[in-house]
Homo-oligomer: A and B are copies of this chain.
């Protein structure tokens, strides 16, 4: 089922950006977890446009309504259905694109696949659908919180400007959700410059999962990094993922890349962290660290060459209120997907009496 992810703890979603509503079902959620609706709201708030002054001023009142699975503020163990009504469904911002394919968007591929194109907004490929992921991820985070496991992400590169010498002290503040570092002003400037230039920029997000338990992940095909990669790459605008030293590992020697081990007072330590917390597809207890490449927003007002749906050559300017960078808004979405995956693997480990 392509609208579902997870094996025991699953998230199923539906909804398009300009449809009546979005929503879904979180299934396999344990009973007895206190459902902290303020926490859920704070997670939802982080992904809204306008939550960052670098972004657009679109209004999305995506307040989720929980329809089942919670009784007296506690999960019952039965499926948690939720709906997020689309209060502002304004097609007018998208009028020009009814018959033209926007470069960098999924317009063309959707038409190729379904033969029917809902041109209103991005349909099922729009950023709005991420609200369902963030809701599911918030529930997963509540479960992980009980284990002391935390999932945090932050922007470590924007518009080509890298964060340097940063400490990892989440949560990171808006508008960029980047760790404090001396390049932060330049990172933010790169985004504002793109906006003024009717263009857009991309960036790189780092995600760390701390206080991990060792032993999560299932060889051969449901390795922890494989399932994390699946979940993260399913987020729109993601073009790459790497774990630990990632692509740099390709340039290291084995003697440099292997993480030596040491034990002190019965506690195991890794002397370096090139593995990124995962070895042989299984967590080793170290923090899990991965980085995600986010491409620049495809919707830009700059004129671009394209074709119509009758295969005529034309140009297009995508007007309307679009973010000059998706990167800040992707931060909570990446956390959400990672939390769902870790929580799922945790439940599987419990099935085998291992956690």
Contacts and interface: CB of A to CB of B under 8 A. Distances in A.
- Looking at A77, A83, A349, the one whose CB has the most chain B CB atoms below 10 A away is A77
Nearest to A322: B254
Assign chain A's interface to a size class.
35 or more
Given A254-B300, A258-B104, A76 B116 contact: yes
A144 interface: no
Nearest to A84: B67
Contacts of A274: 295
Interface stretch (A51-59, A176-184, A303-311): A303-311
Number of copies of this protein chain within its complex: 4
A79 B229 contact: no
Interface stretch (A3-11, A36-44, A167-175): A3-11
Nearest to A133: B220
A103 B249 contact: no
A167 to B, nearest CB: 22
Nearest to A202: B250
Nearest to A28: B1
Contacts of A223: 233-234
Interface in A10-58: 10, 12-16, 19-25, 27-28, 30-32
A97 interface: no
Contacts of A273: none
A190 to B, nearest CB: 10
Interface in A71-116: 71, 74, 76-81, 83, 101, 103-106, 108-110, 112-116
A332 interface: no
B202 A252 contact: yes
Given A223-B233, A307-B262, A77 B116 contact: yes
Contacts of A13: 25, 79, 220
B104 A219 contact: no
Contacts of A150: none
Interface in A105-135: 105-106, 108-110, 112-116, 118, 122-125, 129
A335 interface: no
A71 to B, nearest CB: 5
A249 B157 CA distance: 12
B221 A3 contact: yes
A165 interface: no
Contacts of A246: 239-240, 293
A101 B101 CA distance: 54
B105 A254 contact: no
Interface in A194-226: 194, 199-204, 214-223, 225-226
A261 B32 CA distance: 27
A352 B241 contact: no
B16 A77 contact: no
Given A20-B67, A71-B118, A221-B234, 7 more contacts: A3-B12, A21-B67, A109-B284, A157-B250, A257-B296, A260-B304, A274-B295
